[in-house]
A and B are shown apart, each in its own frame.
Chain A
Amino acid sequence: MEELQHRVDKIRAGRTGLDNQLIDELVAGRISRREFIRRGTVLGMSLGVLGFLAAACGGSSTPSSTATSAAGAVRKGGTMTVGIIAPSAAVNPLTVADEGGLAVLGQAGEYLTWSDDKLNLQPVLAESWSPNADGSVWTFKIRQGVTFNNGQPLKAEDVAKTFKTHSDPKGGSSALSAFAGVLKPAGVEVVDDQTVDFNLDAPNGNFPYLVSSDNYNTIILPANYDYAGKYESSFVGTGPWKMTSFKTGAEVVYGKNPSYWQSGSPNLDTVTLKFYADEQPRVLALQGKQLDVVSQFSASTGQPLFNNPGVKVLELRSVAHRQVHMRTDKEPFTDKRVRQAIGLLLDRPALVQGLLNGKGDLGNDSPFAPVFPSTDTSVAQRAKDVEKAKQLLAAAGKSSFTVTLATWNGYEIPLLAQTIKEAVQQVGGTINLNVTNPSTYYGSAVFGKSPWLDSTMGITDYGHRGVPNVFLSAPLTSAGPWNSAHFKNSGYDALVKEYVAAIDVQAQKAASKKIEELLLDESPVLFPYFHFHMSGTQTNVAGVEPTAMGHIRLTKTGFSG
């Protein structure tokens, strides 16, 4: 026991004040083991150290494996075919904005950190990282001895150039919106051969997620890489796979990268990513044994896979969701009681069961999904209460109203729209549905030229993120570019700043509780549920690492038996 304490003390002596503060929180029982590990990875502590400290100070078990498809005994060699969503455009690290494209980027390319299926950050091309006292400067130590698959060694300059490009307002990067108000090109600084500092526009406690696989455009490329060039002709990167052939719209074939920095990896000899423009054929191809792995399928289309003994389903809790916005500046939603009433009409458990086959978490009308460790789960879950809804509407003088709900025809969204329409009918309201295609719904994606941003009521789909920062700011703050509810609340804006700047988990939780309560009260946007991310493999496949973002890491993948 004394030896254990001695080891703990030794670790603590070598850590920063913020790290020790986090350990204190664990020792005092104010945060769970899961929160401790996840937050520790954000601050740059390794999973090994965190697992030891969690066991020594706050619990008994070690961190769970991050491999969703248990690696087990995997034999070396073999060829695997993986069905992914077809990239919707050229696979260019600057412009990729879809799940197919990012799944391809993540094979030959690597990130500074990897946001795993538990939302922990794992070191990849960054060996370690740490913030200054207020989280306004983050220092990343770059892994040494890594070479790109074109033979160039990885240097701090390469990392700096990558992030300068993506944060440049004139660079044309799809990742620019994530860096808005956080990082400018001038803030990226090479300190020495193995150190890069990120000097942020404002303190940010979750910054390492912005340089992780979550910000999927940011694979590290050589400083002399021409971003205007054609990435598909080289697939340059430090990743485990090296492209052997690429056919636009059809497939990309990879062999092992012989110079990969993790010795002994990957297991397989060859991987083919086959592109599928539609979900149904991917599922059928897995059923028909033409694919070994399917990167993603939805609960509705993938139903035949759930009870299929010939298929393994990999299920990840995610924060992907649908937002039902109600314009706070337009009738009948100017009165918050009307918005609250609509929220009270939704039977969320029934929605999760009926629309998602039970594959989702309940939403509580804020971006704080249950899976985020900073979510304060003590805030009461909003439940269906038709009587209360009627009372609220009567008090607001809106016992009958007519409104048009705009959305687009995809996934389960039209069914959700229909369910809301029927729920509102119970209390005398009328909702007319305007269901179009995604191009029409999103339009030019700026105010005045987009049904998404201009409609009185609408349903929008949002993908997964490792932290709630973007969901809290862009669709809900007064100046948010995606604020379809036109919600303007200075108190809320201040709380978001407080949350974003918070470095320690207690400060984050305190802010999140206040945000959750404010959003429940104001209800500008309803968050009915957060749906799971699902992948599938044949039963003889192991070691597949999907993420809810859409990556599919195949470094440890192989055939078992």
Chain B
Amino acid sequence: MGRFVLRRLGLAVLTLWLLATIVFVGAHVLPGDVGRRILGPFAAPEAVATLNHQLGADRPLAAQYWDWLSGAVRGDLGESLSYRVPVSSLLGSAVLNSLKLALVAFVLVVPLGILGGIAAGLFRGRAVDRIVTVGGLSATVVPEFVSGIVLILVFAVQLRWLPVTAQAPAGSGLGTQLRYLILPAIPLVFVLFGYIARITRAGMVEALEADYTRTAVLKGISQRTVIARHVLRNALLPTIAVVATQTGYLIGGLVVIEFIFNYQGLGQLTFQAAQKLDFPLLQGTVMVMGIVFLLTTLVADIGYSLLNPRIRYGRTE
């Protein structure tokens, strides 16, 4: 297991370096330059040239790349070209915000999705099954900006039960922060519920029909014990992989939700960095997202192998 983890970590570093290089090249292939993006199309070319010089954006690309890379290795992600503050200061609060929202969404959707999937699997072909599968699929295809705005109009504007925005006032307690995050988490529940429930259901159906389940039943073990000890343990394996892959989306991919609920998370920050060609900030956000993806996949793989004794990475063959 140790070797497996080390090997995966080594690959992760390589992946991050490749990611940074691709983003750097991509950002410089796009038309325009950072000075022009900041000052706008109507600024005088002399002003744009002066700003680019002040920002160091007129230096050779190789020098810019090396400066960034050597800084990043030392843990210094540089200064945002558009906001003129350290990238780390912008990333810190954005990552924290994204983690909070992801956590609330996770706490809501994972149990709901798994329970829904279990119920659908146990009562296959019955009303519960149809409600979970059809309802879940229908909710998944509703875009976040539609469900988000409808939820705001109903629960924040009309009923005034919950706030319109996701950002709680500075210094708010846990309860207040939670209150602000419930509404933006619901569209995410809509998007993910159907997915998790269907995977769990498929796992349940497969496990219920498996030989080991039939054997357990024939041994005279009670249905409850069979489900808890044999069916669920096997049925949930694919669900873990699915949940893990969605973590990256929940932390870095919520651009639309963050815009609608005016939430300063990682998705919005990445979008703005890309718009401005703010290369150090874009690199920083992409790095964080890359790390989140790699870590969650690693944790899922480890969890998967622990739950399934037949799989032992690193010792195969």
Contacts and interface: CB of A to CB of B under 8 A. Distances in A.
B317 interface: no
A88 B276 contact: yes
B84 interface: yes
B205 interface: no
B47 A288 contact: no
B132 to A, nearest CB: 31
Contacts of B33: 444
B40 interface: yes
Given A281-B164, A288-B164, A442 B272 contact: no
Interface in A167-183: 169-174, 176-177, 180
Contact of B84 (A92, A177, A445, A446): A92
A443 B31 CA distance: 6
A289 B160 contact: yes
B160 A444 contact: no
Given A172-B47, A177-B42, A285 B31 contact: no
Given A249-B90, A276-B262, A452 B165 contact: no
A284 B156 contact: yes
Contacts of B276: 88-89
With most chain B CB atoms within 10 A of its CB, the pick from A172, A174, A452, A481 is A172
A446 B42 CA distance: 10
B271 to A, nearest CB: 8
B60 to A, nearest CB: 19
Contact of B31 (A98, A176, A439, A482): A439
Summarize B's interface: helix, strand, loop or mixed: helix
A88 B37 CA distance: 9
B36 interface: yes
A97 B259 CA distance: 22
B260 A281 contact: yes
A172 B43 CA distance: 9
Interface in B155-205: 156-157, 160, 163-165, 167, 170
Interface string B4-20: 00000000000000000
B58 to A, nearest CB: 12
Chain A interface residue count: which class? Answer: 35 or more
B232 to A, nearest CB: 41
Contacts of A444: 31-33, 36
Contacts of B272: 88, 249, 277
A287 B46 CA distance: 44
A136 B86 CA distance: 46
B76 to A, nearest CB: 18
A90 B83 CA distance: 4
A172 B167 CA distance: 35
A406 B315 CA distance: 59
A174 B40 CA distance: 8
B180 to A, nearest CB: 11
Interface in B233-270: 259-262, 264, 268-269
A440 interface: yes
A252 to B, nearest CB: 12
A280 B260 contact: yes
Contacts of B275: 439
A281 B259 contact: yes
Interface in B33-55: 33, 36-48, 50-51, 54
B47 A173 contact: yes
A143 to B, nearest CB: 29
With most chain A CB atoms within 10 A of its CB, the pick from B30, B42, B85, B275 is B42
B24 to A, nearest CB: 18
Given A90-B82, A290-B163, A97 B38 contact: yes
6 contacts: A276-B262, A278-B262, A281-B259, A288-B152, A439-B30, A452-B41
Given A170-B46, A176-B43, 14 more contacts: A95-B38, A169-B44, A171-B47, A172-B47, A174-B43, A176-B44, A248-B85, A250-B167, A280-B259, A287-B164, A288-B156, A439-B275, A445-B45, A474-B42
Interface of B: 30-33, 36-48, 50-51, 54, 82-85, 89-90, 93, 149, 152-153, 156-157, 160, 163-165, 167, 170, 259-262, 264, 268-269, 272, 275-276
